A and B are shown apart, each in its own frame.
Chain A
Amino acid sequence: MFGAGGGTSSYKEIEETDVIVLWGSNARETHPIFFHHVLKGVRNGARLYVIDPRRTGSAQWADGWLGIDVGTDIALSNTIAREIIHQGLHNREFIDRATTGFDEYAASVQEWTLERGERETGVPADVIRELALTYARADRAEICWTLGITEHHNAVDNVFSLINLALLTGHVGRYGSGLNPLRGQNNVQGGGDMGAIPNKLPGFQDIERDAEAHERFRAAWGVEIVPKYGWHLTQMFAAMERKELRALYVIGENPAQSEADAKHTHELLEGLDHMVVQDIFLTRTAEMADVVLPASASWCESEGTVTNSERRVQRVRKALDPPGDARDDIEIICALAKRMGHDWSYSSAEDAWNELRSLSPMHAGMSYARLEELGGIAWPCLDDDDPGAQFLHGRLWETPVGGPRAPFFAVVHELPVDELSAEFPLRLTTGRRLDSYNTGVQTGGYTSPLRRPETLDLSPEDCEQLGVEEGERVQVSSRRGTVIAPVRIDPTLRPGLAFMTLHFPDQVQTNILTIEATDPKSGTAEFKASAIRVEKLPLSQTDAAPGRVALPAR
Chain B
Amino acid sequence: MDLRIQDQTATAVERRAVDAVLGPPESAWAGAARNETEGHFARGGHAARSQRHLLLPTLHAVQAGVGWISPGALGYICRRLTIPPAEAYGVASFYALFAMEPRPPLVTHVCTDIACMCRGSNELVAELERTVGPAGEPSADGWSMWLESPCLGLCERAPAVLVTRAGEDPADRSIAPASAADVAAALAGTLPEPMVPDLVPQRGSGDVRLMRRFGTVDPESLDSYRSHGGYDALRRAFALGQAGVIREVSESKLLGRGGAAFPTGRKWDAVARQPIRPHYLVCNADESEPGTFKDRIVFEQDPFSVIEAMTIAAYATGSEHGYVYLRGEYPLAWERLVDAVTQARRHGFLGEDIMGQGLRFDIELRRGAGAYICGEETALFNSIEGFRGEPRNKPPFPVDAGLFEKPTVVNNVETLVNVLDIILEGGGHFAETGTEGSTGMRLFCVSGCVRRPGLYEAPFGVTLRDVVEMAGGVEPGRELRAMLLGGAAGAFVGPDMLDLELSFEATRAAGVTLGSGVIMVLDDTVPLVPILLRIAAFFRDESCGQCVPCRVGTVRQQEALLRLADGRPRGSVDAEIALLDEIARGMRDASICGLGQTAANAIESAIRTLRPFAAAGTA
Contact = CB atoms under 8 A, between A and B. Distances in A.
Interface in B39-55: 39-47
Contact of B43 (A28, A63, A497): A63
Contacts of B40: 66-68, 121-124, 127, 494
B494 to A, nearest CB: 55
A61 B45 contact: yes
Nearest to B41: A127
A38 B502 CA distance: 57
Chain A interface size, under 10 / 10 to 19 / 20 to 34 / 35 or more = 20 to 34
Interface string A43-87: 001011000000101011111111110000000000000000000
B42 to A, nearest CB: 4
B41 A123 contact: yes
Given A57-B2, A460-B34, A491-B34, A63 B39 contact: no
A444 to B, nearest CB: 23
A68 B41 CA distance: 8
B39 to A, nearest CB: 3
Interface in B262-284: none
A544 B2 CA distance: 34
Contacts, number: 65
A493 B42 CA distance: 13
Nearest to B48: A63
Given A42-B45, A47-B46, A60 B3 contact: yes
Interface in A478-495: 491, 493-495
A495 B36 contact: yes
Contacts of B2: 28, 57, 60-61
A177 to B, nearest CB: 20
A461 interface: yes
Interface residues of B, number: 17
A498 to B, nearest CB: 13
A333 to B, nearest CB: 42
A233 B474 CA distance: 96
B27 to A, nearest CB: 11
B42 A59 contact: yes
B39 A494 contact: yes
A63 B36 contact: no
B190 interface: no
Contacts of A68: 40
B42 A61 contact: no
Contacts of B205: none
Contacts of A122: 39-40
Contacts of A42: 45-46
B43 A64 contact: yes
Contacts of A494: 36, 39-40
Contact of A461 (B29, B34, B41, B43): B34
Nearest to A29: B2
B37 interface: yes
B12 interface: no
Contacts of B43: 63-65
Contact of B44 (A28, A60, A121): A60
B1 interface: yes
Contact of A67 (B3, B42, B44, B82): B42
B445 to A, nearest CB: 43
Nearest to B38: A494
Given A491-B34, A495-B36, A55 B42 contact: yes
25 contacts: A28-B2, A42-B46, A45-B46, A60-B1, A60-B82, A61-B1, A63-B45, A63-B46, A63-B47, A65-B43, A66-B40, A67-B39, A68-B40, A121-B40, A122-B39, A124-B37, A124-B41, A127-B41, A460-B34, A461-B34, A493-B39, A494-B36, A495-B36, A495-B39, A497-B39
